[in-house]
Structure 1
């Protein structure tokens, strides 16, 4: 959790404005079963859809999303949203996908003495933030993309998750043969990120190569790859989540060449980062989770100790 009065105040003000513009069903009860929820497939969600909002409320929903992301990650998120129309066209418009099929929800009362949560979510995007006073707990954060890459001849037109993939391949290439043998745990990647849509991100089998055993070039790239995910968040949040290198491991599955289906993860005591680009090698999922703190579990525990 991060103490940042300005950030928490911004989230509170925008969420309160959104509630005033939307009215019921917002806000939802804080103890609603839908609060501890991560879903990156195209389904109906708790809260209210962008399609149901007038322009001022829709703008407030996007402003709320922006409070929880760094500027470049906000651009990534909007690119992911716009890909719904691209995907719908590629499928022949048979599934009725639409960039307004994203949902915003607020659980609890912004500005009250009790914790509250906001979430912006839809196909391939899920951002959850829990606020208690001046403290913000920022996970899970899921970014996906289908198609992950849109090209025009040799030119890349759209590739929202380029850093997540490029830095990982650079890291893999920088490993020594011994380091690579420890990092690669399977020739075939799993079909999806292993934490999936579970509200509990259970620690995965450690596996992989330890950050402390890497050569200097690979170690620097590993730190950069962690930064790619933490820097999705505003700096006040990202700086507070950096893991100890002594506790960090990198694991890979699948071929070691770009364009092939592959998977990797970074794991520390309270940090789980997963990425997969499977199916046809052009459909990516990535997530930042904190197993002991997702959905504000850390804030809730501190709140109970202080007030109950």
Structure 2
């Protein structure tokens, strides 16, 4: 990350902002809104490649593929909307906070519509959340067969967990018959309190194993050496909305300093949001707290 951030700053110094600029550093905005940083459209080809290389340091190959498909879907969505809003796949911004020098505190974000990846570093310690991936359209079809489904594992495994829950436990899993309009954490720096679902340890083994698989989809977006450790015995699972695939639906997985959310709640059921967050540690809350504790004089 340090090497790729240095390369990007060398090509495009304007992507840099102070690390202390918390108003810009501690934020997530997955809607088409103004955001800090420099748009890919305002970078030359070398600068755009450097931005993509920086993004690739935070995502395993399959998740990087998901992210690049999400960028391309802006062109598909723009066509579906009759080109009224002028969406384009270069309307994603990259920003580096602070100096990516050895031993320094710094961070970076790659963000635009339906994509937000934030990394915060203190020396070699990496704090790797929030990570948001969305898709509109969620799927593109040809004669009943999917052509593009970038969030297929997140969707399919969520349903698999629900389907494996015994009928007698459904009332403790499905907390609301209506799906929320968006993920509960939303585009906010601070995650609000969210009611947990059924404890994972109370699920039968088939559902418990599928829940582990579902969580792995989100954790495995990140390289193994920066993915957060999770107490799988402390997880819970909740569902909101329809329990049939023809209705709007939402799920979440929670644990100590962990929140995974998924929603597919637009009218056409073809528009999804997913996020991996750590309510106490997003935007470097963990590594910066350790930094302050270890160096109280600074």
TM-score computed with the length of structure 2 as normaliser = 0.96
| Contact 2:103–2:124 (CA under 8 A) maintained in structure 1 | no
Q: Is 1:300 paired with 2:288? A: yes
Return the alpha-carbon distance in structure 2 between the equivalents of residues 267 and 81 of structure 1: 28
Gaps of 5+ in 2: none
Q: Is 1:214 paired with 2:192? A: no
Equivalent residue for 2:34? 44
| Contact 1:41–1:124 (CA under 8 A) maintained in structure 2 | yes
CA RMSD of aligned residues (A): 1.0
Equivalences for residues 79-90 of structure 1 within 5 A: 79-90=69-80
Of 137, 145, 159, 2:149 maps to 159
Please state how far the C-alpha of 1:244 moved relative to its aligned partner: 1.7
Equivalent residue for 1:204? 194
Equivalences for residues 122-201 of structure 1 within 5 A: 122-201=112-191
Please state how far the C-alpha of 1:258 moved relative to its aligned partner: 2.3
Q: Is 1:261 paired with 2:251? A: no
TM-score computed with the length of structure 1 as normaliser = 0.93
Gaps of 5+ in 1: 1-10
Please state how far the C-alpha of 1:112 moved relative to its aligned partner: 4.5
| Contact 1:259–1:282 (CA under 8 A) maintained in structure 2 | no
Please state how far the C-alpha of 1:183 moved relative to its aligned partner: 0.3
Query: Residue by residue, what CA displacement relative to the aligned partner does 1:177-208 show, whole Å, maximum 9, x if unpaired?
Result: 122221001111000001001101133112x2
Equivalences for residues 67-78 of structure 1 within 5 A: 67-78=57-68
Which 4+ residue blocks in structure 1 deviate beyond 6 angstroms?
A: none
Equivalent residue for 2:231? 244
Return the alpha-carbon distance in structure 2 between the equivalents of residues 245 and 94 of structure 1: 46
SS in 2 for 1:73: helix
Equivalent residue for 2:261? 274
Please state how far the C-alpha of 1:259 moved relative to its aligned partner: 4.2
Q: Is 1:224 paired with 2:213? A: yes
Query: Residue by residue, what CA displacement relative to the aligned partner does 1:250-275 show, whole Å, maximum 9, x if unpaired?
Result: 00011112242100011112000110
SS in 1 for 2:288: helix
Return the alpha-carbon distance in structure 1 between the equivalents of residues 98 and 246 of structure 2: 43
Return the alpha-carbon distance in structure 1 between the equivalents of residues 138 and 125 of structure 2: 34
Return the alpha-carbon distance in structure 2 between the equivalents of residues 184 and 278 of structure 1: 15
